[in-house]
Structure 1
Amino acid sequence: MSTTGLRTTCADLAGRSFHLVGVGGAGMSVVALLLAERGAQVSGSDAARGRVLESLRARGVRVEVGHDAHHVPAQATVVVSTAIKEDNPELVVARSRGQEVIHRSQALALAAAGRDFVAVAGAHGKTTTSGMLAQALSEAGQDPSFAVGGVVRALGSGARLGSGRAFVAEADESDRSFLNYAPAIELVTNVEPDHLDSYGSTEAFEQAFADFADRLVPGGVLIACSDDPGALRLARRAGQGGARVITFGTGGPGDLPGGELVGEAHVGVEITARRADSTSAVLRRWTAGPAGAQGTEPVDLELALPGDHVVLDAAGAWAAGLELGVGAQEMARALGAFTGTGRRFEDRGEADGVRVVDDYAHHPTEIEALLRTARGVAADRGGRLLVLFQPHLFSRTRAFAERFGAALGRADLVVVAPVYPAREVAEDFPGVSGLTVAEQVPGGRGQYVADREEAAERLARQARRGDLVLTVGAGDVTELADVVLTRLRAREA
């Protein structure tokens, strides 16, 4: 590729100071670690205590609990996310002093300066795909830098500054912050409408991805999933505009709408075996030739995780690895070592014969894919599938209630907890609650419980030996997995 720029060193940010407001968030904590690794003085604050703050302290980041103007160093560049309101006392004092205020994505771009930026985007699948790519490149000896919105289990972190040329980052479309990057490689898992409270329409959402594709550096490449209609439309548009494009998806190029290559190549993936804890597949790269599309020799892929959606993520990561100079067989072997990221089908324990798994899924398509996989795992155990679901955002709950109900209908029993509001307030969404979703679960299998801990207790009381219990959502539902396990252990005693 012709995208490698001048390298920078960890000392680039020495002498600079950064203060991150809301440093305990998944994206912000990663940026804090990367800035610190590049030699900056880093501090931050968050509204509540938690394991993330303790981990940051252990890595040398000065962290305060609560938001207070006194926490902000006068010389610091203040880093915020879209979730930080203008009346936050730390942001207020920074603006009153005339301090530099930048978005989290801009801070991440600073940390990535001088490397080949690989931006992984999509409404869902980007954490798994970016974590998978980061670990595989590490396994292949490339020592990448990475910033992933979850802990890559085998690497023990969601962020690291490596010595290699690649910087793999999860690129957030929710607030258009992915438009602050200038990637050498863009890997798009899907373009399925979400965050419509911000975008307003499907057309506006897709236009943001088109603008993202336009951010590629000269010689860069867009790698897009052809199984997703929105991503395929993006690939066609980018190709027509002169960008390098590679697609990936199930089947060969003849299976694409129109039956022809979109761009310069297509990575086809065929699943050959599905198991409760692993998946086998075959990968092949197709390019245009005089007699039509020509494929390379097939490459076996053995993943240590279940799920068709995970195989698709791996196909995209494999294509990106080839672009970064890793051999086809070597990249497939490296992907086989991936064991997942935190809160993606993460085992939390087993008690009284009930297995408890936690997952971050918070969009209907993600939940459908998760439950399709979980249904197979539950069947292998000879038990039922029980779900504790916490909707994330009132706006998303209102927009997708019917689709949430249909996706959750794959479970035998669903207990819905109150909506996790994040940046929203309930008063702005009258009539929207967890009940909005529970009523949409078919067959009367949805129950709404207005207290989150009681919701966990109710699900635990109904679980029996052999069952698989999932705690699902992007909020603090992950804490309820421990509530379920505690209840099950008490029943064992």
Structure 2
Amino acid sequence: MTENVYLLGIGGIGMSALARYYKHAGASVQGYDLTPSALTHRLEEEGIEIHYQDDPLLIPPAVAQNRDNTLVIYTPALPPGHRELQWFREKGYHIIKRSVALGHLSANHTTLAVAGTHGKTTTSTLLAHILHHSGTGCTAFLGGISKNYDTNLLLGNNPFLVAEADEFDRSFLQLHPHAALITSADADHLDIYGSHQAVKEAYSQFASQIEPGGMLVIKKGVEIPLPLQPGVTAYTYHYRESCDFHALNHTVQKGGYYTFDLMLKGEKVRGCRLGVPGWINVENAVGASALAYLNGVVPAAIKEALASFRGVSRRLDVCYSGKQCCYIDDYAHHPEEIRAAVLSVREWFPGEKITGIFQPHLYTRTRDFAPEFAKSLDLLDQVVLMPVYPARELPIPGVGSEMIAGKMTSKNVIILDSQQITGFVRDNKPRILLTLGAGNIDRLVGPITATLKEMNL
């Protein structure tokens, strides 16, 4: 174990999990991020030093004066020309990407990797919860904050390691798992891949890296070549269609909660209840249950864990529930994710007016999927679009939220900036409110919730 670990972009969900892991392992951990956040504040409370200016002079002396005993980890989301990263390179530090660090850590474990354009965070978090709740245990690097454990890092003493396998920048190709689950392989990150075909090829390569004798669980209908290693067994799963693992006899309870029977390779587990609402979460539960079952968790323990699962922050996350209003926040930032979120909420609140506030994430994604975004947002009754959150990108001429609005058939759509959102909520008194996006829209959750409480809706 290296003496110092310095993380560039430490406030990211994946980077912060690594920071916590190395801190627990005994390393001195420091880092940089662009802006303070609730997550960076938590890391600071845990004893991790963080600064928020890209300035090599702010690098702690323990790091700046100890090249040979320092590991530098960076996120690919850093902008080109980042001064601190450039300084570390010039000084000859050992520098690796986040995905490489996770690949190194997972190499000594029995890795269960969850990949897919959508659903991987909830599915991997639920898988980790099943393993912990059953007493099996695992170490888990999660892409969201588990509401059961209030963290994105779980630690265990057994060989299992659960990893969310991120397709961005082909990061998941650093993993060679014992078992993998693929939820979807839709087009996304076309700024990296260039085409949907290239996305599919990356998922095929990921599947080919499963260890010989391992296993793959893939959603039925995901059409990609599967050049599997010798002895790797492939299984399918689905929300309702008959296959190796599926759910049947679904019943929607009050509040959008589901009961269902779970089929595990022909073995029926009757009367399962999922602790979070939404049909999309039933599908995630089937996938997580499949991987847990194939790795030795008994059906009764799976059933108990499903009922006690509390979900993931910003995934169909109920932030306020009053007599006249329910407010739900979701990380959805791809057209298919928005569609799934809206349809889940529609089933949850049949016949109710749903207002959605969406912040597009990345100019390239907005450009590449504007018609698809428009189609998914048209499922809402009222839409507020916020300006595009650029993240690592520079503006693209002619690309903005107006591009999406112009392709929508609904006329009940407006564009507002972040300062106008709470005023909109106050004036419109929405019955069902849904915020959507992967940018900094999460910073509005607190003010929106406070406004609704103040109005006593």
Q: Same fold (TM over 0.5)?
A: yes
List, as ranges, runs of 4+ consecutive aligned residues in structure 1 with deviation greater than 6 Å: none
Pick one of 281, 284, 293 that aligns with 1:310.
281
Deviation by residue 1:83-140 (Cα, 9 ceiling, x = unmatched): 1134111101110111011010111233334211111100010000001011111100
SS in 2 for 1:361: coil
The one-letter amino acid of 1:98's match is G
Counterpart contact for 2:107–2:176, Cα < 8 Å: no
Q: How many angstroms apart in 2 are the aligned matches of 1:316 and 1:424?
A: 34
1:178 and 2:144 are equivalent in the alignment: no
Q: Deviations over 1:226-272 (max 9, x none)?
A: 1x433xx34xx24597632111112324xxxxxxxxxxxx1122252
SS of the residue 2:42 aligns to: helix
Alignment CA distance shift 1:373-1:282 (3 Å) = same
Contact 1:120 1:169 in 2 (8 A): yes
Question: Alignment partner of 1:326: what SS?
Answer: coil
Residues 10-409 of structure 1 mapped to structure 2, 5 A cutoff: 13=1, 15-70=2-57, 71=59, 73-74=63-64, 75=67, 76-226=70-220, 228-230=221-223, 233-234=224-225, 237-238=226-227, 243-249=232-238, 250-253=240-243, 266-275=244-253, 276-286=255-265, 295-350=266-321, 353-379=324-350, 383-409=352-378
Alignment partner, residue 429 of structure 2: 463
CA separation of 1:22 and 1:280: change in aligned 2, threshold 3 A: same
Structure 1 residues 201-210 or 30-39, which shifts more?
30-39
Q: Match for 2:441: what amino acid? A: V
The Cα shift of 1:489 comes to 4.5
Q: SS at 2:349's partner residue?
A: helix
Deviation at 1:389?
0.5
SS of corresponding position for 1:248: strand
Question: Does the C-alpha gap of structure 1 residues 490 and 154 become closer, same or farther in structure 2, counting only changes over 3 Å?
Answer: closer
- Secondary structure in 2 matching 1:150: strand
Structure 1 residues without counterparts, runs of 5 or longer: 1-12, 254-265, 287-294
Query: Partner residue of 2:413?
Result: 446
Does the 8 Å CA contact 1:415/1:446 hold for their aligned counterparts? yes
Matched, 1:472 2:433: no
Per the alignment, in what secondary structure is the counterpart of residue 121 of structure 2?
A: helix
Q: Distance in 2 between matches of 1:30 and 1:184?
A: 21
State the one-letter code of the partner of 1:354. Answer: C
Does the 8 Å contact 1:390/1:473 carry over to 2?
A: yes
For residue 176 of structure 1, give the secondary structure of its aligned residue in structure 2: helix
CA distance change for structure 1 residues 23 and 362 in 2, over 3 Å: closer, same or farther?
A: same
Contact persistence 2:208–2:228 (CA under 8 A): no
- Aligned-pair RMSD on alpha carbons? 2.0
Q: CA deviation at 1:200?
A: 0.5
With structure 1 as the length reference, what TM-score do the two structures score?
0.86
Match of 2:390 in 1: 421
- TM-superposed deviation, 1:445: 1.9
Structure 1 counterpart of 2:289, which letter? W
Aligned pair count reads 448
Q: Contact between 1:119 and 1:185, CA under 8 Å: does it hold in 2?
A: yes
Could you say what secondary structure the match of 2:205 adopts?
helix
Where structure 2 has 5 or more consecutive residues not aligned to the other structure, the ranges are none
Deviation at 1:491, TM superposition (A): 4.3
Whether contact under 8 Å (1:21, 1:78) holds in the other structure is yes
Alpha-carbon separation, structure 1, partners of 2:362 and 2:211 = 35
Equivalent pairs: percent with the same residue? Answer: 32
Residue pair 2:211, 2:229 contacting (<8 A) in 1 also: no
Q: Secondary structure at the match of 2:11?
A: coil
Deviation at 1:350, TM superposition (A): 4.3
CA change 1:297–1:53 in 2 (3 A) is closer
Aligned partners of 1:420 and 1:440: how far apart in 2?
A: 19
Distance 2:193 2:426 in 1: 38
The question of whether the paired residues in 1 share the 8 Å contact of 2:123 and 2:288 is answered with yes
